[in-house]
Structure formats: structure tokens, C-alpha cells
Amino acid sequence: MAGGGQRKTSSGGKIRKPRKKQRFSALNALSHAKRGVGKGSRSRTFVPPVGYTVTAYEKSQVMTTPGKHRYRSVDSAAETVRERGFNKSLIFETSSEEDQPSTSANTESTPCEPTTSSPLSEETLDTSASTWKAMAKSMFIAYGDSVGYLIDQVNAKRNCSTKGCNGILVPWKTERVGLGGNLRAVFMCTGCKGGGVTFDASTYLREEKRQVAGHSLALSFILNGNTYEKYNQALHLGLGIPIFSFNTYYNILSKAYPHVHNILDVQMKKARANMKEMDPTKVGSWKRAVTSGDGVYHTRGHHSKNMSVLLVDYCENALLAAVHLCMRGKDVTTADSVPLFPGTSKSAEGYGFELIWEELKHEGMEVEVHWQDADSTSEKSFKKFFSKSKVMYCGGHVGRAHGKQLEKLASMKTFSKGYKQRHSTYELDKLKCVCINKHHSATCGCIRPNMIKQAKINHFAALVQSGTDAALYAKRMRALGQHHARNIHEWKDGSCDFHGKKRCSCKKCDPLDVQCTGEMYKTSHPLTCPMHSMAYEIECEERAAKAKDVIHPEMGRGHSNYPEARNNVLIRYRSKSISLNRLAYCLWTDVGLLQGNMSWCFREFGPAYHWIVEVYRAMELPVPE
């Protein structure tokens, strides 16, 4: 055969076959070319840490350390690297980008390196310690690779402090789980054991076993009324940050409640002390107190498992007392201070006020006037302790009840048997609605929605214009029911003194001083139906009979807006659609009451005061700035 492909022959001319050893040697060389060369190269990959070099020879690999030491076997190299504190993943597995410091200059928002054109002065260097102390209370958001970029700058400009070591810092271990959003990163030197550094994103208190930043972040969520689901949704699901477990979050909530409740208790005691320091003969003092109270259910309806009762100083808008009534809860934190309420939610408001009045009566408080809505159970509890004091009704609630009653009368076309019995002094048997066999129309003269709207406006105007004269309020309510609603503005004994005789027709005159010829005054929605006009007259007479319960001789019309305004703040911290157990309900209700009391705190403690700062200080956490 011609060419280089001829097979060897023996001296006798026969073809000589390759020996078995030679054949296996050729296959071994082919395998080395495909899979690598050297002992152990087929079973495990050896990629050294940063700073170590590996030189591949024909049948072996040699690792050179930063100190120029050579190791010719994989086992000896691995043992040396392991002794120097490196992770196993850096020895036997291929290194990933996550294991190495970030060296990319194309990352978004890369920090700027300090320039050497203007070196730091000695004065600036001397104040570096105080600068770090000033930054200790601040929190910030950062990506993980920002730590790696910092280490890259250190490696480029600083050497290892160990004598004779030329190693650099590389990531060895990171921890994120269970730290509440914090990061712990350990960097080790590639040339020695003692050159490592540790980065902790938060201070760790070993005695209390808590991460300061993680607890501060969780507490911020708690003090803003967020349940664990919202905490998890915002941080873990939204940003991918490992967070505390439910038990840890609940423990933080349990530790925060006593401090929150204590701050609220201090404010209420301060408000009581201010009343005690006043002249006892003055209205609004401890001996002539003017209060306003209301109850609020947690969930909508009267089947709520939680309820709170509030009492406010009417003259100063300061919270005096708050009682929580809960029907379920097994926590130890509130077991003694808030025992489970055995009664029904409908009776909770009256029972809660009994607890408040009993406590304040024991402290020597004397209430002269108490403003409330028309809840009968709370009035009974007040009379139980202050039988000679006066209960006044909120003008806004009276007006709303006036409108609700008119809506009921509008749906009637004949008077019911019970209605006739309650108003037996009136002749109601023969009265029927003019629309008894047909639908109402806009001009039928019955009580309709537009008429009800105008009647509520007229009632409020009567409250405002009456001032402190209850008799004037009663007179105007009777005039509205007997004459004004029927479009009668002058009668034998008097006239409507709350409006003029004519209206402006040019639409340019002052309503109180009509200068043009104008037109005669007419009721906007007169009642011509005999039944509904009588029903409205009876309703106005009932309001007039209670004039002294609505108009105070010294304060005039009053309201219960102060406690109800706090109720509107509460829904910002605990939703009415989520039924909470006792501990969570008490905490978030107290938080809402603290925020609702800020107007009084601003006057009492100054604009720099805030209850959130007090909570952080009480829990020994950095005060947010």
C-alpha cells in the first residue's frame, strides 16, 4: 500500500496486528484530548478562587498561589484552599458570577470612584468617626452587588494586612434568610486565614437575638396598620427580599403593644391632669366637665366581635378614656388588661361607658354636660353615675334622624295602627294620601326626596340661627311644620321670621337685602297632601319638644364630632373587612387613637412631638429620621 496509511508487516510478509497495550494507550490519549488530562480531571472540575492560577500540562495541572507556592495534585491544592477558609463550591465546582465580586462597569447606577485630584484634608479624616455615628441611625436601600463593588475598590487600592500576603478579598459566605431583609456577607483573603472581613447590613443584638434594621422595618409596617400578609406582599413578593416569619412578626407586634398602650395611657392621664389644674368653678374643669363620647364597632353591623368606646374632653378635644371590648382572643399580652367580653355586641357600648364612668367617678370627676348621639344604652349608663347631670344630643345626629323619619313617612299612604296609638292626640283616622291608588309625581304635594332634602336644610338652619335659645329653636320648628311647609308664611299669631317676604328676581341682589321688585316668597316643595302635611307637622313637633336636649343655654348647639373624627382615623389602621383577634385589634386601635389625638399633642407637646418616635425609643430601636 502506498501512503502513510500502510500497516506494518512482519519479515515473512504477514500483516502484524497492534498489541493490546498499544491499542488501549491510543484510546487513552484520545480520551485525554476530549475530557482533560491528569488524575481526577474526569471526576471533578477544579476552578481555583480569584488570585490563584492553574497551569495545565500534558498529563497534570499545577496550582500556583498568590504567594508563588505550587501544588501539583488536585487533592493537595483542594486541602490548601480549604485550610485557608474557602467554600467547597470554590474548589470542586465551577465558580459563578454570584461567587465573585462584581467587576462590571456597565451596571446601572455604578458608584463613582473617589478622585485623587483633591485629596481629603486632615480635618475631614479626623471627623470620619463622627460621620459614621451620624449615619448610624439612617437606613437606605441598596443592591447586593454594591457590596461587591466596594470590595473591588478595596482590592484595587489596598493590600492584605498579613505580612507577606498578596491575596485579595473574595466572597466566602452570604446569609439573607431569617434576617428580616438584611444581608450578612463574609469575605476571605485568598492568601491567608486572618485577612477576612464581614459586612452586616444591620446591628445584631446577641442578648436579645434580633436584627435592629429588620425589626425597625417590621415595626414600621406594624405601626402603619399592615398585617403580615401586607408585609409579605410588599417586601417578599414585591421585591424578593427575605422577610421574617409570621411568628417573628407576631412577636414584634406583641412586644410593641405594651409600649403603644402606655404612650396612649400617658396622654390620657395628661389630659385629665390638665382638667384637674383648672379653676373648679369654670366650665370644662374636672368638677364641671363637658364630655363627648361614642362607640365604634370593628366590622360593619352589630355582630362585630370587637368594639371600642371613647370619651373626649369637649372643650379641649383631648382623649380622656378608651375601652376595648373583644369577644375572642387567646394571647397572653392582653389577657389581664382586656378580658373577653361575655355579652352581645349590641350591649357593648353601654357596658363600655359604665367602665369609663366608674373609673372617672372614682377619681372625683363631676360631669356637667355630656354630648352624645341618640344611643339609649350609653345614656342609661351615664345616668347611673351622674343622675343630676345633663345629656345633650348631637345636632347632626338629630338632623339625620329627622331625615330618616321623613323617609319612613314618605313610604306610608295611610297611618299604621301603632303610629295612631303613639299620636292619639291628633285626628288621623280619616287622613289618607292623595296618591293612594297611583304613583307619586314630582308635584303631587306629598313627602318626596327633594322635600326631605330641603327639610334637613331647614332644620340645620334653625339650629344655627337659634344660638343658645332653645325656645326659639322650638318656635321655628313648629312654624316649619304647621305653616311654612304648607306654603303659609303669615298667620294670625305671627309669620316666618327666618326669611323675607319676597325673593330676588334679578339674581343680583343680596338674599338678605333684596332691592329689586322681586317676587313673593314661595316654599320650594310645598306639602298639599293632608296626610303627609300632618305627618310632617307631627315630626317637627317632636323635634321642638326636645329643644332643650339639643340647644344648651351656654354652649348652644353641640356635636359628637370629636370622638367620631377619631373613628374615621381608625379605619386607616385596621380595615373593617378583616376581623382581628384581641391583640391585633387592641394594638391597631391604640395606634389609630394616638394618630387621632395628634391635634391635641401638637398644642400640648409642640410640633416636634410624634408618638412613633416614642415607640421606637421604648423598644430601643434607632429613631427614624
Cβ contacts of 217-222, under 8 Å, gap ≥ 24? 217/139, 217/180, 217/181, 218/180, 218/243, 218/244, 218/248, 218/249, 218/252, 219/252, 219/256, 219/615, 219/616, 219/619, 219/621, 220/624, 222/249, 222/252, 222/253, 222/256, 222/587
Q: Are 375 and 353 in contact (CB under 8 A)?
A: no
Q: Are 593 and 570 in contact (CB under 8 A)?
A: yes
Residue 33 pLDDT grade (very low, low, confident, very high; cuts 50, 70, 90): low
Can you give the pLDDT at residue 404? 94
Cα torsion for 592, 594, 598, 602, to the nearest 10°?
-170
pLDDT at 324 over 80: yes
Tens-digit pLDDT profile for residues 247-274: 999 999 999 999 999 999 999 999 999 9
The more confidently predicted of residues 414 and 513 is 414
In percent, the amount of the chain with pLDDT more than 90 equals 46
Dump the DSSP string for 410-465.
HT-SB--HHHHHHTTTS--TT-B-TTTTS---TTS-S--HHHHHHHHHHHHHHHHH
C-alpha 95/C-alpha 341 separation (Å) is: 62
CB atoms within 10 A of CB 57: 10
pLDDT at 96 over 80: no
User: Average pLDDT, stretch 412-433?
Assistant: 91
Residue 313 pLDDT grade (very low, low, confident, very high; cuts 50, 70, 90): very high
What is the bridge-based pairing of β-strands 367-372 and 289-297?
A: parallel
User: Average pLDDT, stretch 527-532?
Assistant: 93
Can you give the pLDDT at residue 14? 59
C-alpha 624/C-alpha 606 separation (Å) is: 18
Give the contacts of 548 (CB within 8 A, at least 6 positions apart).
Answer: 470
Cα torsion for 224, 226, 232, 236, to the nearest 10°?
-20
Can you give the pLDDT at residue 367? 96
pLDDT at 29 over 90: no
C-alpha 181/C-alpha 141 separation (Å) is: 10
Tens-digit pLDDT profile for residues 133-175: 555 566 777 777 778 788 888 887 777 777 778 778 888 777 7
C-alpha 78/C-alpha 63 separation (Å) is: 10
pLDDT at 364 over 80: yes
Can you give the pLDDT at residue 17? 64
E strands along 241-343, which residues? 289-297, 306-313, 318-326
In percent, the amount of the chain with pLDDT more than 70 equals 82
| Domain map (residue ranges) of the chain | 38-96, 248-394+559-618, 401-487+523-557
Cross-strand pairs, 390: 369
Residue 598 pLDDT grade (very low, low, confident, very high; cuts 50, 70, 90): very high
Instruction: Give the lowest-confidence range in 24-33, 223-232, 362-371.
Output: 24-33
User: Average pLDDT, stretch 333-339?
Assistant: 88
Q: What number of residues does the chain have?
A: 625
C-alpha 309/C-alpha 345 separation (Å) is: 12
Mean pLDDT, rounded, of the chain: 82
Q: Are 51 and 170 in contact (CB under 8 A)?
A: yes
User: Average pLDDT, stretch 537-558?
Assistant: 94
Tens-digit pLDDT profile for residues 207-229: 455 677 888 889 999 999 999 99
Can you give the pLDDT at residue 97? 38
Instruction: Give the lowest-confidence range in 65-69, 85-89, 504-508, 513-517.
Output: 85-89
Most confident among 42-51, 167-176, 257-266, 344-353 (mean pLDDT):
257-266
Instruction: Give the lowest-confidence range in 37-51, 529-543, 554-568.
Output: 37-51
Give the contacts of 279 (CB within 8 A, at least 6 positions apart).
Answer: 285
pLDDT at 296 over 60: yes
Can you give the pLDDT at residue 479? 94
Neighbour-count burial for 316-351, b at 16+ CB within 10 Å, e otherwise: bbbbbbbbbbbbebebebbeeebeebeeebeebbbb
Can you give the pLDDT at residue 392? 94
Q: Are 574 and 227 in contact (CB under 8 A)?
A: no
Instruction: Give the lowest-confidence range in 57-66, 110-119, 291-300, 351-360.
Output: 110-119
C-alpha 534/C-alpha 577 separation (Å) is: 43
Q: What number of CA atoms fall less than 13 Å from residue 242's CA on the CB side?
A: 10
Sign of the CA dihedral 83, 86, 87, 92?
Answer: negative
